[in-house]
Amino acid sequence: MKQSDVFPSKWLKAEDLAGPLTVRIADVRLDPIKNPEGGEDQEKPVLVLEGNFKPMILNVTNWKALAKGYGEDSDAWIGKRVTLLKTEVDAFGETHVVIRLRIPEAKVIAGSKEAVPEPEVEDIPF
């Protein structure tokens, strides 16, 4: 039995990803998130994905990646594609497995001047 089976989360976690996954953004909203140290809930930005996916709490690093690729206004991100990657980071004296977001690169077809987006990736439910 795994901890995630016994204590399931309503939020997308790195453990939910088998590998890189490209999905479309459905919404970005503020949701009340329970403060793990007690105290009052805090409003945090949440990334909602199209398909059968859990929503993902956005941290500053991932917000900046989306803003760099699609602009500062999160309303402009709706309908755009994003690739979710699982990676390890060192923080607070420990190594953590986290999700990082990347903007999928458009490919240029030989002989064409216009970039063509990558093909869609099938939804994989969690």
User: pLDDT digits over 35-61, tens only?
Assistant: 877 778 999 999 999 999 999 999 999
Quote the mean pLDDT of the chain: 85
pTM: predicted TM-score of the whole model, two decimal places: 0.78
Residue 82 Rama label (left phi>0; alpha psi -120 to 50; beta): beta
φ, ψ of residue 84 to 5 degrees: the values are -95, 130
pLDDT tens digits for 108-122?
555 555 554 554 544
Whether 123 contacts 51, CB under 8 Å: yes
pLDDT at 107 over 70: no
Take residue 45 and report the two structure tokens written for it.
């930005």
